[in-house]
Structure 1
Amino acid sequence: MLQSASSGSLRGKDLITIGIFSAIYFVINFIFMLMGGLHPIMWILMPGFIALFTGVPFMLLCSKVQKMGAILLMGIITGLIYFVTGMFTVVILVTFMIACVLGEMARFISRYHSVNGNIAAFVFFSLGMTGSPLPIWMMHEKFMAQISGQGMPDSYINALESLSSQVMLIVLFLAPVLGAILGAWISKRLFRKHFEKAGMVSHA
């Protein structure tokens, strides 16, 4: 499924590959970020949906760039785009960076060519997006007052209030774990059925 492990630092070709898959990841990510504005439950489940639908670009990136820094750069690119548009809070920047570092560690320990290592890295990486809804629980009163002052409809705020339970906090963290595992499994099936035949990845 994966190419043989590469050594050395990232080169120009690697950076281009990272840029391409980061762009794909960002587009999918952004779509679900927008959908989170439709209803609070969509926002809380957003990290799980993003993980489910970004498994292919993430695992392809891991297959093509088996070097340290690929995941970290993907996270930095995504974070910078959101930050300059004012859509990332300090909380999500922190969770995203922690997730990227843990993902890099998972790949390093598994020597980059392990499928299970890449899946573990994807799980960690996907948990980074939990920082978007996390202020609902971390700074509840201040956050609710903030979104109310920003003109968020009362119906949305009331629905969000009803969902801000400890059970939903568990769901927030569980969703991206399950989504990442399922997304990686789908990617693995697609790799075997399509990408290997097309020569995009090599069989392990």
Structure 2
Amino acid sequence: MKSFKIQDLISVGIYAAIYYLLMAIAVFALHMGFGIFSYMFIPSGTALVAGIVYLLMTHRIPKFGAITILGLVNAAFFMFSGYFALSFIPSIVCGILADVIQHKTNLPEKIRTLLGYTIFNFSLTGPILPMWFMQDAYKEALASKGKDASYITEILKPVNNMTFALIILSIIVCSIIGLWIANNIYQKHFAKTKGQTNENIIR
């Protein structure tokens, strides 16, 4: 983090803004397809479309700390947007862990990028994990916001072990697909402008 410059922080801010724009597009598309239950697939939907932001950050700001900052931005968003009280924790943990994998390990670049991106996408699970692991507290939080019993029952209806496994699997699969799409975009539009080789990050 000491090597960060003002320009790096500005760049992270720009990438964070693009990230949230892509997330908003994913949320809109999911809502159109899944209605009230779309919230469960926001992490995987975002993973599908936001890979290019991750690639640009790791290539244009190749320093430990950039991914962590993006995770902290997610955490701040969850803290101040009325989500469940502990929703920010996965964003911090997954952001730091992805950063460590990306910049502090000796894994091959393809593996580092794919593993880091996949783990980072779990940073968006903070608002939904309490539905499985802290359900009573989650119900109380919804009730305190004025949600009636029928709404709470309806929104928790699909919460079971099978849907939990489906969400985990969808995040992993969408991270792989999303990074593959992002790599094609990066190689076509960005790599040559930076004098980088055309070797794919993920094939």
Return the TM-score normalized by structure 1. Answer: 0.81
User: What letter matches 1:196 in structure 2?
Assistant: A
Residue 179 of structure 2 aligns with which residue?
Answer: 184
SS at match of 2:87: helix
112 and 137 in structure 1: CA distance in 2 versus 1, 3 angstrom threshold: same
Residue 29 of structure 1, aligned match among 17, 23, 30: 23
- After TM superposition, the structure 1 stretch with the greater mean CA deviation from structure 2, 106-115 or 31-40, is 31-40
> Residue 119 of structure 1: CA displacement?
1.9
Does residue 150 (structure 1) correspond to residue 152 (structure 2)? The answer is no
- 1:188 Cα offset (Å): 0.8
* Separation (CA, whole Å) in 1 of partners of 2:63 and 2:134: 38
Change (3 A) 1:126 1:168: same
The CA deviation at 1:54 is 0.9
Deviation at 1:58?
Answer: 1.4
Report deviation, 1:151. Answer: 3.7
1:100 pairs, out of 88, 95, 98, with: 95
Q: Does the 8 Å contact 1:63/1:201 carry over to 2?
A: no
| 1:160 equivalent in alignment to 2:161 | no
Q: Which residue of 2 aligns with 1:11?
A: 5
Q: For 1:53 and 1:94, how far apart are their aligned partners in 2?
A: 23
> How far does residue 40 in structure 1 lie from its aligned partner after superposition?
4.2
CA-atom RMSD, angstroms? 2.9
Look up the match of 1:120: 115
SS for the counterpart of 2:82 is coil
Consecutive unaligned residues in structure 1, runs of 5 or more? 1-6
Q: CA deviation at 1:154?
A: 6.0
Match 1:64 to one of 35, 54, 60: 60
**Aligned partners of 1:153 and 1:63: how far apart in 2?**
47
- Out of 170, 187, 197, the residue aligned to residue 165 of structure 2 is 170
Structure with the larger RCO, 1 or 2 (CA within 8 Å, 6+ apart): 1
TM superposition shift of 1:140: 1.4
Identity %, equivalent residues = 21
Q: Say which SS state the counterpart of residue 88 (structure 2) adopts.
A: helix
CA contact (8 A) 2:130 2:138 kept: yes
Judged with a 3 Å threshold, the aligned counterparts in structure 2 of structure 1 residues 58 and 40 are, in CA distance, closer, same or farther, namely same
Residue 80, structure 1, aligned to residue 76, structure 2: yes
Match of 1:50 in 2: 46
Q: CA deviation at 1:30?
A: 4.5
Q: Is the 8 A contact 1:68 1:108 kept in 2?
A: yes
Cα pair distance change 1:89/1:141, threshold 3 Å:
closer
Structure 2 residues not aligned, in runs of 5+:
none
SS at match of 1:176: helix
